[in-house]
Amino acid sequence: MEAQPLLLLLITILISTIFIFLRRGRRGGLPLPPGPKGWPILGNLPHLGPKPHQTMHALSKLHGPLFRLRLGSAEVIVAASAPIASEFLRTHDTNFSNRPPNSGAEHIAYNYNDLVFAPYGPRWRTLRKLCALHLFSQKALEDLCYVREQEVAILARDLAGSCRPVNLGETLNVCATNALSRATIGWRVFVGKGEDVTAEEFKDMVMEVMRLAGVFNIGDFVPGLGWLDLQGVVGKMKKLHKRMDAFLDKLIAEHRAAVAGGELAGKHLLSVMVRLQEEGEGEGGKLTDTEIKALLLNLFTAGTDTTSSTVEWALAELIRHPQLLHQAQKELDTVVGHDRLVSESDLPHLPFLSAVIKETFRLHPSTPLALPRMASESCTINGYHIPKNATLLVNVWAIARDPAVWAAPVEFKPDRFMPGGDGAHLDVKGSDFEMIPFGAGRRICAGMSLGLRMVTFMTATLVHGFDWKLPNGVVAEKLDMEEAYGLTLQRAVPLMVLPVPRLAKQAYGKHEKL
């Protein structure tokens, strides 16, 4: 009896090996891209390390900006330069509009019923159109401007009243989550003590989603080994999904009760989705409860943690470079003054702050490896054969540090985006492949417009409203800037800071009751 599991494992490994060699034999006349040799069965999986984006950056220096990895039985193609990324995401965008199968999408994202991992087609277009019209369009952004301004004012007031160091990332996450929840479901998720899910617990859940979704799970790449869950990843995903599902079920139930009781106007995204569900509208047919929850999951994960972590990186860089912080504060003082907080209408008049934001997106992209795509058909890129069903990974982090494009690529230099700088002509919205923090092509981040505005607005408020001290004798120049890898790029050590108000007291005054 004891030999049976071992025999089964050996048979599984033998089948996987045969499968790999069969796949490797199905080539056309062109060669596959170059790449490092891998281990038997596992391929290059053991080589990735705890920070795969950095490992792949190093590999691109050895094998070129287009190279191949074998992760188990999966052919993985890595793009690590702007011209190569453009070939995939512009020239061959249609062919790379689907996602490869993965355990995160199956066990966390409601089995591909969400927007991020859904197959390219009618259902995906329906979900994206809903978000584009009711959350991310220019009209929706303007209509909900007051929500963001109120939430950021609350953030500034709370920071001004703090007399001890704060965990900036956690505080920012509360602000971003409440701003998004008011736009999507009509009320703030976090209103103080006594919630069923506290702000800290919610941030922990979101970070765990991002961390698990960024794991290279062996079961995704070696057929037949998934059931073993060798890393324990799938078990953690299932447990986390239950917590998130209960949280979303509660939100939807409370929202329906509020609308039915006349306590909430039905103009928010969730109200629109519920109405469409009842009317059976939509290009792909009637929306299901699962699809509604899956979309809310996307919004609350991709729309909160990415925003707060990017602002946290921006503040950390400015604290490390006090002369840049003072330059940004001087610009804000000139435009805004000392008697009020920044408003969104001020943002177009702050070119240096805009440069700070661009430089933050360049050095610290929220998604260092763009979400994977899959080749629907084989194609040729740069003289190499890209096989059907190959997984594409675009190393956004490496592209933005390419010394062929950027002078002093690892230094934080916002001036590069000012007139005369080497990045003055570049934007972050997917057209300039030298810097694509939101991705590019058909599957570019749906919330780019909101994310860019929220990051800029929150950063401007923190820079304008406060000076910043580091606790426990930490020297600014030696602030820990180590990365922690997940689906999003987190700081390994949370930024603990003491905010010191620098505006007139009335600037942080009372906010209206929400």
Q: Which residues are annotated as a binding site for heme?
A: 445
3-state secondary structure (DSSP) of residue 176: helix
Candidates 144, 141, 166; CA nearest to 462 is 166
Place of tokens 């997106």: 361
For residue 470, give Cα distances in angstroms to 38, 279, 499: 45, 55, 9
Structure tokens at 331: 């610009």
Residue pointed to by tokens 């910043």 = 468
Nearest 5°: CA angle at 450, between 255 and 416? Answer: 160
CA 316 to each of CA 193, 351, 432: distance values in angstroms, whole numbers, following the listed order: 29, 20, 26
Burial grade of 501 (CB within 10 A; 0-12, 13-18, 19 or more): middle
Output the six-digit token pair for 195.
Answer: 């919630």
CA 89 to CA 79: how far, in whole Å?
A: 10
* Annotated binding residues: 445
DSSP letter at 51 equals -
Angle at 443 between CA 94 and CA 74, to 5 degrees: 70
d(CA 309, CA 400) in angstroms, rounded, equals: 18
For 431-495, give the DSSP string. Answer: S-TT--TT--STTS-TTHHHHHHHHHHHHHHHHHHEEEE-STT--GGG----EE-SSS-EESS--
Neighbours of 414 (CB within 10 A): 26
Structure tokens at 164: 């001890």
Structure tokens at 138: 């220019």
How large is the angle between the packed helices 305-320 and 168-184, nearest 10 degrees?
140
Rounded to 5°, the CA angle 217-304-454 comes to 135
Provide the H-helix boundaries in 112-198. 122-131, 138-143, 145-160, 168-184
The whole-angstrom separation of Cα 118 and Cα 9 is 32
Amino acid at 386: I
Copy the structure tokens of residue 222.
Answer: 């070696």
Indicate the pairing of strand 74-79 with strand 391-394.
parallel
What gap in Å lies between CA 393 and CA 96, rounded to an integer?
Answer: 11
Alpha carbon distance 428, 396 (integer Å) = 12
